Amino acid sequence: MTARTPGRAPLALALLLGAAGLPLAATAQTPLGPNERLAEPHVNVQDRDDTWVLEFKFKDPRLMTVDVPGRGKKVVYYLWYQVINKTPQAHTFLPDFELVTHDRHTVHRDQVLPRVQEEIRKVEDPTGYLDIKNSVTMAAQPIPPSRPDAVPSAVTGLAIFPDVVDQAADTTQFSIYVAGLSNGWTVDDKGVVRRKTLQLNFRRYTDALHQSSQDIKFIPPTEWIYRATTLKAPAKPGEAAKEVSAPPKDTDK
């Protein structure tokens, strides 16, 4: 009997993990709870050798009627998520969320609203065990690396979009773009800076009169793209480069 030679699949997987900045030993799967979805790191051709990517777990966007300070009672969209670090080093996640409606062409930025966050916490984390963070408190401390072969540890956060119903109540197609999960960025020949960004696509199966979480569904797959920002690189040779490590504002092109 001849000995079997190892297949190429394990080697290919190892190369992909290494290119994404993931430790080859950290292969423990991220557990998923009810209605949870996982966006695993993906290698893009634009990635550099030192590009790292964080894992992102999320639920479909949900709606809640709540009093927004200074704006009265409103229906707000929110995204529950968790960030997992399977790279060898700690990395700071500077959350940059943008909800874009493709049929109504509106853009909605995540807003830090502590009172709204507290009302959402009562539903999503009534015991306070998850210590849910907003986009400011999430960035306060680096995401620690998960230990190899252990159940990955996660940091839980919320992105809140309070004006979607006001501006696009009847939207049926929208995406949420998540920047800050990677240090990947490029500059094209026109000086446009692009950031490695997670794109999550959703559909809403109802009309403007019915605002319900159950009508919003994720459309797979998750996508990692290099998305254009409003930041421009210097046009003159020798000019000092602008800082691009801080999260610039994204555009939808």
Q: Tens digits of per-residue pLDDT, 52-101?
A: 999 999 999 999 999 999 999 999 999 999 999 999 999 999 999 999 99
**Architecture in CATH for domain 34-182+201-226:** Sandwich (2.60)
How many Cβ atoms sit within 10 Å of the Cβ of residue 174? 24
The encoded tokens of residue 250 equal 């994204």
Q: Tens digits of per-residue pLDDT, 18-63?
A: 444 444 444 578 888 888 999 999 999 999 999 999 999 999 999 9
The predicted structure's pLDDT at residue 231: 82
Least Cα distance to 95 among 202, 167, 178 occurs for 178
The predicted structure's pLDDT at residue 28: 76
Q: Tens digits of per-residue pLDDT, 226-236?
A: 999 988 776 65
Q: What is the pTM of this model?
A: 0.82
The predicted structure's pLDDT at residue 238: 55
Task: Express as a percent the part of the chain with pLDDT over 70.
Answer: 81
How many Cβ atoms sit within 10 Å of the Cβ of residue 209? 7
The predicted structure's pLDDT at residue 244: 46
Distances 240 to 151, 234, 244 between C-alpha atoms, Å: 44, 7, 12
**DSSP classification of residue 111:** -
Q: Tens digits of per-residue pLDDT, 234-249?
A: 665 555 544 444 444 5
The predicted structure's pLDDT at residue 88: 94
The predicted structure's pLDDT at residue 33: 82
Residue 125 confidence (pLDDT) above 90: yes
In one letter, which amino acid is 145? P
**If you count them, how many residues does the chain have?**
253
The predicted structure's pLDDT at residue 147: 86
Residues 6+ apart with CB under 8 A from 70: none
